[in-house]
């Protein structure tokens, strides 16, 4: 069996979709998993932009947008997206290290 570990930093996201779990913020590469750099607003904006691009047509998460359109939750030109995000310590303190908000929010 593998072992579990609690990530020290996580990304809390809000948007027009339901998120199940908070992605881990990795400062450095760990094995095959890439690191995102220091927890800054600029790095968080880059992280969110890459995630939002994945919900557009041709992206790896487009099936989520397609499903939401089929349920009538999105218009034909809309796509799933994150509009606000924070990198927080996952130690119970929930100290906010970086924040980002969409200009369109």
Give 35-85 pLDDT, tens digit per residue.
999 999 999 999 999 999 999 999 999 999 999 999 999 999 999 999 999
Exposed, middle or buried by CB within 10 Å (0-12, 13-18, 19+), for 61? middle
Does any domain span residue 90? Answer: yes
| φ, ψ of residue 19 in degrees (nearest 5) | -100, 135
Q: Check residue 19 and give its pLDDT.
A: 75
Structurally, the chain folds into a number of domains equal to 1
Does any domain span residue 2? Answer: no
Does any domain span residue 48? Answer: yes
Q: Which domain holds residue 69?
A: 9-101
Does any domain span residue 93? Answer: yes
Does any domain span residue 3? Answer: no
- Averaged pLDDT score across all residues of the chain: 92
Does any domain span residue 89? Answer: yes
Does any domain span residue 45? Answer: yes
pTM: 0.87
Q: Check residue 105 and give its pLDDT.
A: 58
């Amino acid at each position: 069996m593998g072992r579990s570990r609690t990530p020290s930093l996580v990304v809390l996201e809000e948007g027009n979709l339901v998120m199940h779990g908070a992605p881990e913020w990795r400062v450095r590469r760990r094995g095959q998993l890439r690191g995102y750099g220091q927890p800054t607003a600029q790095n968080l904006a880059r992280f969110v932009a890459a995630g939002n691009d994945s919900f557009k047509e041709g992206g790896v998460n487009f099936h989520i947008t397609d499903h939401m359109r089929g349920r009538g939750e999105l218009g034909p030109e809309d796509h799933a997206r994150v509009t606000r995000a924070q990198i927080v310590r996952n130690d119970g303190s929930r100290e906010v290290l970086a924040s980002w908000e969409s200009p369109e929010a």
